[in-house]
């Protein structure tokens, strides 16, 4: 299992459009083979910051996400809305270990 947290900074005037595009990306990503979660979160203290929580069964499934049409569309759509470069952090899962709990 692999979980990537992606930290995203959005220009204030594009926050609403970013949310719309990201929910569309969520709706498609959760249908991918090997996807376990794809949560879209907004920071409580700063609505221009977001965290994506992307959990996949394998490295291969996580890598395949970046070749999907919906990811490439999302990436192109939001490109000019970023206030700074996104930052992804890869993680091993220590708990829960059972696939059915994801």
For residue 3, the tally of other CB atoms under 10 A from its CB is 17
Encoding tokens for residue 69? 């049409």
x/- mask, a second copy, residues 4-43, rule CB under 8 A, reads: -x-------------x--xx--xx--x-------xxxxxx
Task: Assess contact for 71 and 29: CB atoms under 8 A.
Answer: yes
Nearer to a second copy, 46 or 80 (CB): 46
Sites of contact with a second copy (CB under 8 A): 2-3, 5, 19, 22-23, 26-27, 30, 38-45, 50-51, 53, 89-96
């Amino acid at each position: 299992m692999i979980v990537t947290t992606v930290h995203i900074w959005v220009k204030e005037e594009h926050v609403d459009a970013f949310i719309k595009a990201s929910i569309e990306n969520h709706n498609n990503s959760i249908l991918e083979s090997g996807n376990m979660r794809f949560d879209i979160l907004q920071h409580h203290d700063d609505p221009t910051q977001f965290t994506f929580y992307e959990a996949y069964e394998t490295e291969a499934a996580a890598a395949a996400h970046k070749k999907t049409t919906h990811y490439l569309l999302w990436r192109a759509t939001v490109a000019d809305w970023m206030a700074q470069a996104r930052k992804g952090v890869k993680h091993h899962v220590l708990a829960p270990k059972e696939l059915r709990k994801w």
